[in-house]
Amino acid sequence: MTPQVDRRINPRLKLSYPIRILREEGPGRPIGHTVTQNLSARGAYFSTFHGEPYQEGLTVTVVVSVPHRLATGTKEVTLDLRGEGRVVRVESPANRIFGEDGVSMTGVAIEFVEPLSFHYCWV
């Protein structure tokens, strides 16, 4: 078996941040929310208990919420990274991940269509 070559342009970082996925059509109808498993400048990967709404090619709005402090000793704010994305991979049932309780989860990869914009949310 030949080793798989990593062709990524940007490195993936194993970061766990809350992520919300909204449908593009309609007034931002939510598809789901979960936590990222990894992030890069060009996309995100996460697992969900509810994989049914995700299909390859689906255009979505992505909101990744990152806790942040503007300065030492100040209140924490949330930096929402928002933008448009496209579902590029939905794990097949054979490749599903199982959570701690044995429940099957579906892995979903989203490619960002453009750079994400930054929005501070004061907590």
> Each residue of 113-122: pLDDT tens digit?
999 999 988 7
Domain 18-122 has CATH 2.30.110: yes
What's the confidence (pLDDT) of residue 25?
67
Domain extent listing, the chain: 18-122
Q: Which candidate, 4, 5, 88, places its Cα nearest to that of 42?
A: 88
What is the tens place of the pLDDT at every residue in 81-94?
999 999 999 987 66
Model confidence band, residue 101 (pLDDT cutoffs 50, 70, 90): confident
Torsion of CA 62, 13, 7, 1, to 10 degrees: -120
What is the tens place of the pLDDT at every residue in 65-78?
998 877 777 788 89
Is the distance from CB of 107 to CB of 93 less than 8 angstroms? Answer: no
The H or E element spanning position 39 is strand 30-40
